[in-house]
Amino acid sequence: MCVIDSPHNQHVKRLRSLATKKGRAQHGQFLVEGVRVLEEALDRGAKVESVAHCPDLIVTERARVVAGRLGQSGAETFEMSERAFRAFSQVEAPEGIAAAVAIPQTQLQDLPSEASLVLAAVEVRDPGNMGALLRTAAGAGADAFIAAGSCVDLYEPKVVRATAGSVFHIPAAQKVAVKAMLAWSRDSDMTTVAACLEEARPYAEVRYPARTLVMMGSEAHGLDRDVASQADLKVRIPMPGRAESLNVAVAAGILVFEVLRQRQYEKDCEGEK
């Protein structure tokens, strides 16, 4: 196998382009770097379309194992020098393995019709927050994730890294119009819950139905008033401390795990009868 050394090589340029929205749209792929995230991609059967590896940067046994698995995936594989690999890498300390993975073409209508818990990010533009929200949804065992309105791309490299592999765990639809999301929730007999401040009840005082969609707005501006006004329930998280607000992913975690707590409590009560 010929070792690619030039930062201007066509394969290096293609991988570098996946860090851009235009490049991802052109190739229908996104860039995945790092041992942990690549393990999740392989374990979840993601469609790996090409692989780049740099032996000089692969220093752990775990990384060698993942590199071996990627090499056996059937994807086109390129060996690169450190100079070439760093030319496209989006991390400060690359681990020497990366892959171009097909972007799932999940639409709103593809989400589970009988979903019992869905987390929606509305107008969330910060990559770290979006990745953490997706990770929260996956950690709570939510059935689906929706990015509605003008959100950051779910497959932007910073978002993918922030999910810690959870991007491969949960069906997610993006570029969804808020109006379409609300119509889908009504058609699916889901109760919509808006995290907001105005006319909202403390979250722990609300009983969440068996099918719930939790909507979170951006950390900077919160959920749009018009969107919140169309929700079935409005909830807030009481804050006795001096901080003005919580990180949006922290707030989402509090809400979705309260939904789960109530459901588990109801199950336990049923079991005691």
The domain that contains 194 carries what CATH number? 3.40.1280.10
* pLDDT for position 74: 87
Q: Both 160 and 249 in a single domain?
A: yes
User: Looking at 47, 71, 102, which one is the last position of a domain?
Assistant: 102
Q: Both 48 and 161 in a single domain?
A: no
For residue 178, the 8-state DSSP code is H
Range of the domain at 163: 108-272
User: Looking at 102, 117, 149, which one is the last position of a domain?
Assistant: 102
Q: Both 126 and 215 in a single domain?
A: yes
Q: Both 59 and 185 in a single domain?
A: no
178-228 pLDDT, tens digit per residue, is: 999 999 999 999 999 999 988 899 999 999 999 999 999 988 888 999 999
Q: Both 136 and 199 in a single domain?
A: yes
Burial string for 132-165 (b: 16+ CB within 10 Å, else e) reads bbbbbbbebebbbbbbbbebbbbbbbbbbbbbbb
Q: Both 181 and 163 in a single domain?
A: yes
* pLDDT for position 246: 87
Q: What six digits make up the tokens of 17?
A: 């382009």
Q: How far is CA 125 from CA 72, 138, 203, in A?
A: 36, 19, 25
Q: Residue 259: name the closest of 131, 160, 119, 153 by CA.
A: 119
SS3 assignment, position 230? coil
Low-confidence ranges of the chain (pLDDT < 70): 1, 270, 272-273
Q: How large is the angle between the packed helices 127-139 and 248-272, nearest 10 degrees?
A: 10
Q: Both 136 and 58 in a single domain?
A: no
User: Looking at 64, 82, 102, which one is the last position of a domain?
Assistant: 102
Other beta carbons less than 10 A from residue 109's beta carbon: 10
Q: How far is CA 95 from CA 19, 53, 70, in A?
A: 17, 9, 14
High-pLDDT (> 90) share of the chain, %: 86
d(Cα 33, Cα 235) in Å, to the nearest integer? Answer: 37
